[in-house]
Structure 1
Amino acid sequence: MGFPGGGALLTDGAPVEVPRDAAREAAQEELRKAVYHQHEPGLVQRCYDWVREQFGRALDDIGAPLGGSGNAALAVLLVVLLVLGFVAWRRYGAPRRAARAGGTLFAGAQGPRSAAEHRADAAAHAARGAWEDAVREQMRALVRGLEERTVLSPRPGRTADEAAAEAGRALPQQATQLASAARLFDDVAFGERPADERAYQLLAELDRTLGRTRPQPVPAGGGTA
């Protein structure tokens, strides 16, 4: 039989006093044993429960001004996410594949055409809002114009990147713009990037700028191909 304060009885009935601090430490040591904690949730479960609780409180805070519960707030949150997704899709277009390297500039063109003919086709496509076709034809007009001025030598199998690199050596001030124009063409023609009026106008303006630019002599061994 125990006594208050940590006392106990010997077998002959005489009380034996146990210090209070020693009794407390013995009890704490006993409670540390795993058998008393085997049914408690683990660390991962406790973290998950805490995150879920915090998320639920946040939803309740959002739903409170609406006079609703966390379910109402969750519905509002889903609507907001859908609206943001739609806006992003309208602005940037559907996910696109990376442009294929090595696509030839005049692939699919209707036979050899002059720069003026390509420009006219580009303008016609732009007038009806067919921006992808307008970009293709305007880039072709740009390169054909360089060929007609002998900045580039005619080469049917040339890619847009090759044309930009070759022309950039003779027109160094426009080398960066030429490289950007080639990437734009590849993205639209082979990477399924949606084109727009701005893309077409960028190429048309570069075409006009190149027409007013005098090429520089190319060092031996670095001539146009």
Structure 2
Amino acid sequence: MIHVDIPVDPSSPEAQEWLRDELARPEYQAAKPTWFDLASKAVQDWLASLFQGPGGDAGPVLLLVVVLIVAGLIVTAFFVFGRPRLNRRSSLERRSLFGADSSRTPAELRAAAEKAARAGDWVLAVEEQFRAIAAGLDERTLVQVTPGTTAAEFAQRAAAVVPEESESLRQAARSFDEVRYLDRPGTEAAYQQLVALDQRLQRARIQVPGVLA
């Protein structure tokens, strides 16, 4: 007589118990995905769905994402750095100009020098007029006045673009240093020399590489 094993009925309680015991073995538990694996897979699927258009083409969606990122950066820069100026303003606005407030324009500095001269304050008149000369050349992008620039350094830089005024510029720097740092009394003659130099520089059509005066 041939004995044939009857297949186990998978719906029977005993078969289900065998299945649970089998899946509880360590090798099956080790292969079971962790919560981190499931979360990572969900995030990956979500990101993939963002970059897939209706027809499976990621191009349009990717372009939109790039545009939104660029727009966000522009808005952030606007709030952090403020509105960009349409017209170039002198870099002197952001720093001290030979130890004094640098937010004034060359015209304002000239007016301050003239006011001091009318009051007979030749020390202040010389200082403000020299600052007006430096601010004027910096505003025209002919000479850059960097933080910590001294009067002598400015004169040297200016002489490189206006060589015919080299001596006058050096004398102007000496006049400024004398009244500013050496406590020398200013004179009307020194002030008038600075005014004349400033006027000549304003009229000069100076050409430097890549820059129009």
Normalised to the residue count of structure 1, the TM-score between the two structures is 0.48
Equivalent residue number for residue 181 of structure 1: 172
- Residue type at the aligned position of 1:202: Q
User: What displacement does 1:193 show?
Assistant: 1.2
Equivalent residue number for residue 148 of structure 2: 157
Compared CA separation, residues 142 and 105, structure 1 to 2 (3 A):
farther
Higher relative contact order, chain-length normalized (CA < 8 Å, sep 6+): 1
Retained in 1: the 8 A contact 2:143–2:158? yes
Residue pairs, 1:1-225, within 5 angstroms: 106-217=97-208
Equivalent residue number for residue 82 of structure 1: none
Give the Cα–Cα distance (whole angstroms) in 2 for the partners of residues 212 and 163 of structure 1.
Answer: 19
- Residue type at the aligned position of 1:131: W
Name the SS for the 1:157 alignment partner: coil
Compared CA separation, residues 105 and 195, structure 1 to 2 (3 A):
farther
Name the SS for the 2:97 alignment partner: coil
Q: Deviations over 1:33-92 (max 9, x none)?
A: xxxxxxxxxxxxxxxxxxxxxxxxxxxxxxxxxxxxxxxxxxxxxxxxxxxxxxxxxxxx
Give the Cα–Cα distance (whole angstroms) in 2 for the partners of residues 105 and 173 of structure 1.
Answer: 28
Retained in 2: the 8 A contact 1:105–1:158? no
User: What displacement does 1:166 show?
Assistant: 0.4
Retained in 2: the 8 A contact 1:106–1:140? yes
User: What displacement does 1:109 show?
Assistant: 1.5
User: What displacement does 1:176 show?
Assistant: 1.1
Instruction: Among all aligned residue pairs of Structure 1 and Structure 2, give the percentage whose two residues are the same amino acid.
Output: 43
Name the SS for the 2:136 alignment partner: helix
- Please list every run of 5 or more consecutive structure 2 residues that lacks an aligned counterpart in the other structure: 1-94
- Residue type at the aligned position of 1:194: P
Normalised to the residue count of structure 2, the TM-score between the two structures is 0.51
Name the SS for the 1:129 alignment partner: coil
Compared CA separation, residues 181 and 120, structure 1 to 2 (3 A):
same
Retained in 2: the 8 A contact 1:105–1:160? no
Equivalent residue number for residue 42 of structure 2: none
Retained in 1: the 8 A contact 2:134–2:154? yes
* Residues paired across the two proteins, number: 117
